[in-house]
Structure 1
Amino acid sequence: MSKILSLVPYKFLPPTSGGHWGILFVEKLLSTYNKVTTVTVAANEVKPGQWPFTLKNVLTNSRSRYIPYWLTRQLRQLSQSERPDYLFCHHHYLFPAVHYVARKQKVPLYIRSHNIESERFRTVGKWWWKLMWHFEKRAYRHADQVFFVTEDDAAWAVAHYGLPKDKAVVMPFLCDFDQVQTTDKDKLAVAREHGLNPDVPWFLFMGVLNYYPNEAAVKVIVEALYPLFKAQLPDFEIIICGKHLNETLQEQIAAIPQIKYLGFVPDLNPILQHSSVMINPVTAGGGVKTKVIESLSWDLTVVSAATGAVGIEKQYCGQKLKIVPDTDWEGFARAAIHAASVEAHIPDAFFEYYYLKNVANRLQKYFV
C-alpha cells in the first residue's frame, strides 16, 4: 500500500456535475489499494467517514491559489507531514508549486488530465488558448506520469506536446456500481414527482447548462430537434436537467408542453432508470462527456452527435451508443426515435473496461 497526496484545486464535494463525479471516482480508485489524503479547498463539504480517502480542506477558496508557486510553502509543509510516496495532481493548474515540492521531496509527480484543456478552450473561442497550450505542454512533459481520460487524448499529447509514450497512461472516466442504484419508484411515481407524463417515452438531456457546449445543445433541442420529433412521434417528452439555464431558453421551453426543464435534480437515478433515450446533441468542447458514460452505465441508449461521443471507446458499447454526424439533426431525430423502440443491453465488456475496481486493478502497478 502506497501513500498518495492528491491535490484537487476546486470544490467537488458534494458532486453536482460530471466533472465533480469524475474527481470523486478517481479518489475512490486511488483509495482501492492505497492510503490517500486529498488536499482541496475549504469550500468542500464532507461527513466524517463518508469516503475512503482522508480529506484536508486547507487550500484557500481564493483564485490566488492558481498564481504560480502561491501554494508552494503550504504544499511543502503538507508533503513533509504526510510523507507521501506519490504526489497526484488533478489538472495541471497547480503544476509549478507541485513540481517544485515533488523535486524537493524526491517523490514522483503524477497529473490527471481531465481534458486537453488548450483544445477545449480553443474550440469554445477563448483567445488565450495558446498560452494554455504552452503551460499544459510544460506540465505534462515534466510530470513523471500523465493519466488521460481517453486513448485519443493520450495520442494527442504524444503527437502535439511531444510527451513520451511511456508517460501517457489511460485512466478512463469511471463507472461505479455504488452510484448505479436502482430505485423502488416506478415510472408513475417519478412522473408525479417531477410533473411528467408516465405514458410516453422520455428523451433525457443533462449537464451544467451555463457551459457553452451544453447551452448550445439545449438551443438545438428547442429549435431543431423538437420540431423534428413532433413531426414523427405523436407522444413524447424531452426532459432537460441541470442548473444555470439562461432565462431566454427557459422562456422558450415554458411555451412548449412536451419539453420539461427540471433544473438541478439532486438524485437523477430515478429519471435515468425510466428514460428511454439519452440525447446528446453536443457539437463543441473537448474531453469525454461524462453524461454519456453515466447513461450507458444505466443501460440507457445514447444517441449523440459525433463531437459529443469523442473519447468513448465505442467497441465496448454494443448497440447502446448511436453516433450521428454533427448538425445532421434530421438523422439525429430519426436515430433517437428508433432507439426508443429497440430493446438492447450494454455488453459486459463496457463494465470490464470502465468499472472503477477493474481500472484500479489495471493501474495499481503505477503505485507500488
Structure 2
Amino acid sequence: MGKTLVITSYKYMPPTNGGHKVCFDLCEKLSEVEEIVAVSSDNNELTEELTYPFYGLFKDEKWKYIDPRFAYRLWDICKKENVTTIFLQQPYMMPFVWAVGKLLGIRTLLYAHNLEYKRWETIGKWWSPLMYFWEKVMFQLADHSLFISESEMEEGEQVFQLKPSEVTFLPHMIDQESSPMKDELAKKELKMSLGLSEDTFLLLYYAAFSYQPNAEGLAFVQNELLPYMERNADFPFHIIVCGGGVEGELKTSSSSYYQYLGFVDDLQKHILGADVVLNPIYSGGGVKTKAIEAIGLGKTVVSFATGAEGIAVADCGEKLLISKDNQVEEFYQNLIRVKTQGDLPTPKTFYDRYYWKNVIKTLQGVVKK
C-alpha cells in the first residue's frame, strides 16, 4: 500500500503557534492510522517520539519557494517511499508539487489553513489582488482541496471556481472526546502561584504576538479592556498574557491587574486555571485554533466577531460569546456573562465536529478516493 507524503513549507516542530499546531497534529494523528512521510524545512526540532519518516528537504528561507532543487529531491523521496498521495499544507509550494505529482501519477491534495488573499487583504497588503489570482490557479491545479472551515470552503468553492466534489471540510483537531469535568483545583493552584485570591476572576489571553493581528489584540486588551475594567468592575480580576513576540510598550504595564508572563512551558495549565479565555482578534483571516482548543478543554471564550470566523458557532453553545469588533463595552458584558454563569459544559456537537478521530476519518476518505 502506498504512503501519504505531507509537506509543510515552514518549521512546525515544536509547534509555537496555531498554524504550527495544525500541521503538527495532522501529522501525528494521521500517522496513527496511515503510513505517512513528512517533508519540511531542515530546522525542525525532531524528538525521539516521532513515529513517521521525516525529511528536511530545504532551508527555511524565502527562496525555498522558487528553488527547483526541491522538485528533484521531492521526486526522489516519492519514489523511494512509494508515495501515492501528496498532502500539501498551504499553496506556496504547489507549482513544484503539482509538477512532480503529474509526472509520477501521484494525487495532490491542497489544504488551506485560511484563504491567503483575504488574510493579506485584511491587514492591508497591496499585493492581495495578485495573491487571489495566484491562489485561484493553485487550487485549480490540485486534485482535491481541503479547507479548515466550512465558510472558507464555501467561499473557496465560489471564488476559485471549484466543483463541490473537489472540496472537503477538514477542521482543526482536538484531543478531547467529551466535555471535561470542572477543574477547580487547577484554578486554585494557578491563582495561588500568581499571588491571587481564589475569588479573583482570571482572564487569559495567549498567542504568538509576532503576528500582527495578535499584537493588535494585545493592544486592545492593554489600552481599552484593562482601563475599562479598572473603572467598572466591582469584583477582583486579573489579566494574564502568555506567548512570545511581544515588543515595545506592550511588554509592560503599570497596572496591578495585568501580568505578561511571556512564553510558558505548560500552557494547558494556564488555560485550565483561567476563568475565561480572551480572543480579541479583529483583523487577519483563518480559524483561530486557540479558541477551538480552549473550548475543547471546557473553557468559555469571549471573542470579537472576526476572531470567531470559521468556527462552528452553533456547535459551541454558550462556550463562545461573540462581541462586535472593537466594542469594549460589549466585550466586557460578555465577560460578566461568563462570570455569572460559570463553567457550563461544552456541547456534544462540538466534539462530534472537532474530535480528532472524527476528523481523521474524513481525511482518510479523501486520501483513499
Q: TM-score, normalised by structure 2?
A: 0.93
The 5-angstrom pairing of residues 1-368 of structure 1 reads 2-48=2-48, 50-67=49-66, 69-177=68-176, 186-194=186-194, 198-230=198-230, 231-251=232-252, 253=253, 255-343=254-342, 344-368=344-368
- The Cα offsets for residues 230-269 of structure 1, whole Å up to 9 and x where unpaired, read as 2123310111111111121123x2x011011111112111
- The Cα offsets for residues 53-95 of structure 1, whole Å up to 9 and x where unpaired, read as 3222232233221116451111111111112110111111111
In 2 relative to 1, CA 331–181 (structure 1 residues): closer, same or farther, beyond 3 Å? closer
**CA–CA distance in structure 2, aligned partners of residues 2 and 185 of structure 1:** 48
RMSD (Å) for aligned C-alpha atoms: 2.0
**CA–CA distance in structure 2, aligned partners of residues 212 and 250 of structure 1:** 15
Q: Please state whether the residue corresponding to 2:47 is helix, strand or coil.
A: coil
Deviation at 1:102, TM superposition (A): 0.1
Deviation at 1:191, TM superposition (A): 3.5
**CA–CA distance in structure 2, aligned partners of residues 77 and 35 of structure 1:** 18
Deviation at 1:188, TM superposition (A): 4.3
- The Cα offsets for residues 3-54 of structure 1, whole Å up to 9 and x where unpaired, read as 1011111111011111111111111232232100001111111223x13332
- The Cα offsets for residues 301-327 of structure 1, whole Å up to 9 and x where unpaired, read as 011110100000012111111111112
**CA–CA distance in structure 1, aligned partners of residues 195 and 131 of structure 2:** 44
Q: Please state whether the residue corresponding to 1:93 is helix, strand or coil.
A: helix
In 2 relative to 1, CA 307–224 (structure 1 residues): closer, same or farther, beyond 3 Å? same
Alpha carbons 1:238, 1:259 under 8 Å: kept:
yes
Residue identity matched to 2:142: A
**CA–CA distance in structure 1, aligned partners of residues 357 and 50 of structure 2:** 15
Residue identity matched to 2:59: T
**CA–CA distance in structure 1, aligned partners of residues 351 and 32 of structure 2:** 17
**CA–CA distance in structure 2, aligned partners of residues 209 and 322 of structure 1:** 23
Residue identity matched to 1:345: P
Alpha carbons 2:189, 2:273 under 8 Å: kept:
no
**CA–CA distance in structure 1, aligned partners of residues 198 and 46 of structure 2:** 36
Deviation at 1:156, TM superposition (A): 0.9
Q: TM-score, normalised by structure 1?
A: 0.93
Residue identity matched to 2:260: Y
Q: Please state whether the residue corresponding to 1:40 is helix, strand or coil.
A: strand
- The Cα offsets for residues 206-248 of structure 1, whole Å up to 9 and x where unpaired, read as 1111211111111111111112222123310111111111121
In structure 1, the gaps of 5 or more residues are: none
Alpha carbons 2:176, 2:351 under 8 Å: kept:
no
**CA–CA distance in structure 2, aligned partners of residues 308 and 184 of structure 1:** 28
Alpha carbons 1:2, 1:34 under 8 Å: kept:
no
Deviation at 1:103, TM superposition (A): 0.3
In structure 2, the gaps of 5 or more residues are: none
Residue identity matched to 2:327: D
**CA–CA distance in structure 2, aligned partners of residues 184 and 83 of structure 1:** 50
Structure 1 range deviating more: 231-240 or 275-284: 231-240
**CA–CA distance in structure 2, aligned partners of residues 347 and 265 of structure 1:** 29
Q: Please state whether the residue corresponding to 1:14 is helix, strand or coil.
A: coil
- The Cα offsets for residues 143-187 of structure 1, whole Å up to 9 and x where unpaired, read as 011110001111111111112221111000111249x99999743
- The Cα offsets for residues 109-160 of structure 1, whole Å up to 9 and x where unpaired, read as 0011111011000100111112211221111011011110001111111111
**CA–CA distance in structure 2, aligned partners of residues 156 and 11 of structure 1:** 28
**CA–CA distance in structure 2, aligned partners of residues 181 and 57 of structure 1:** 38
Structure 1 range deviating more: 21-30 or 277-286: 21-30
Alpha carbons 1:175, 1:294 under 8 Å: kept:
yes
**CA–CA distance in structure 2, aligned partners of residues 246 and 277 of structure 1:** 25
**Identity over aligned pairs, percent:** 30
